[in-house]
């Protein structure tokens, strides 16, 4: 079987979010991000703490726009 199969239970790696670091460096609060990106505070809070369960591409795009960054600045994947 292919070693990259998802049909086996194994460690798939981890996606780490860097939104907190970017926001802190820009002195941007979660409330301000929510307002500027037109998202709920709870959504901004989840991104800030890296507790993303499902990714909404529109929200991701808005956050990139507000933070003036690339998607690759917001998250990294490690095996």
Residue 2 confidence (pLDDT): 57
CATH number at 57 reads 1.10.260.40
Q: Is 3 helix (H, G, I), strand (E, B) or coil?
A: coil
Note whether residue 67 is domain-resident.
yes
- Global pTM? 0.82
For the stretch 32-68, pLDDT in tens is: 999 999 999 999 999 999 999 899 999 999 999 999 9
Note whether residue 55 is domain-resident.
yes
How many whole angstroms separate alpha carbon 49 and alpha carbon 11?
22
C-alpha angle 58/46/27, rounded to 5°? 90
Residue 6 confidence (pLDDT): 63
Give the confidence band of 10 by pLDDT, cuts at 50, 70, 90.
Answer: confident
* Count of structural domains, the chain: 1
Note whether residue 1 is domain-resident.
no
Average pLDDT of the residues of the chain:
92
pLDDT higher than 60, residue 1? no
Q: Judge whether 68 and 59 are in contact, CB under 8 Å.
A: no
């Amino acid at each position: 079987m292919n070693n990259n199969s998802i049909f086996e239970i194994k460690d798939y790696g981890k996606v780490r979010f860097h939104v907190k670091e970017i926001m802190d460096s820009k002195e941007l609060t979660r409330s301000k991000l929510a307002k500027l990106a037109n998202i709920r505070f709870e959504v901004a809070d989840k991104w800030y703490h890296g507790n993303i369960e499902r990714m909404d591409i529109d929200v991701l795009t808005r956050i990139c726009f507000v933070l003036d960054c690339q998607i690759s600045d917001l998250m990294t994947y490690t095996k």
